[in-house]
Amino acid sequence: MRRAPALTPRAFFSGDEAIIAQVLALLPARWHDVYGELGTKGQADGPKVASSKTAPLPVSEHADELLGDIVAILTSWEERVAAVARLHIDTDAWRRRRAHVAAATLTRHLAVLLALPAEPTMRAVSLTTAATLPRGARGLVHEAAGYAEVFLDLSGADAGLEVLSLLRRCRRLLGETPPTARRLDGVACGGCDFAELRELLDDDGAFVGARCYECGTEYTTTTYAELVDERKRAAIQAGYRRRTVPRAADGDQVARRV
d(CA 82, CA 91): 12
| Closer of 2 and 198 to Zn ion (Cβ) | 198
Return the range that interacts with Zn ion (CB under 5 A); candidates 21-29, 72-80, 200-208, 213-221. Answer: 213-221
d(CA 258, CA 248): 11
Task: Tell the smallest beta-carbon distance from residue 185 to Zn ion (Å).
Answer: 15
Task: Tell the smallest beta-carbon distance from residue 213 to Zn ion (Å).
Answer: 8
Say which amino acid occupies 70. I
Return the range that interacts with Zn ion (CB under 5 A); candidates 59-67, 118-126, 184-192, 224-232. Answer: 184-192
Interface with Zn ion in residues 217-236 (CB under 5 A): 217
Q: Are strands 147-154 and 139-142 parallel, antiparallel or unpaired?
A: antiparallel
| Closer of 215 and 234 to Zn ion (Cβ) | 215
214 contributes a contact to Zn ion by CB under 5 A: yes
Task: Tell the smallest beta-carbon distance from residue 184 to Zn ion (Å).
Answer: 12
Contact at 8 Å (CB) between 44 and 64? yes
Site string for Zn ion, 119-158 (x = CB under 5 A): ----------------------------------------
Task: Tell the smallest beta-carbon distance from residue 216 to Zn ion (Å).
Answer: 7
212 contributes a contact to Zn ion by CB under 5 A: yes
Return the range that interacts with Zn ion (CB under 5 A); candidates 56-64, 144-152, 165-173, 192-200. Answer: 192-200
Return the range that interacts with Zn ion (CB under 5 A); candidates 36-44, 81-89, 112-120, 211-219. Answer: 211-219
Contact at 8 Å (CB) between 64 and 40? no
Half-sphere exposure of residue 79: CA atoms within 13 angstroms, side-chain side: 11
Strands ordered across the beta sheet of 218-220:
197-201, 207-212, 218-220
Q: Which of 111, 145, 215, 235 binds Zn ion (CB under 5 A)?
A: 215
| Closer of 175 and 191 to Zn ion (Cβ) | 191
Site for Zn ion (CB under 5 A): how many residues?
7
183 contributes a contact to Zn ion by CB under 5 A: no
Residue ranges in contact with Zn ion by CB under 5 A: 189, 191-192, 212, 214-215, 217
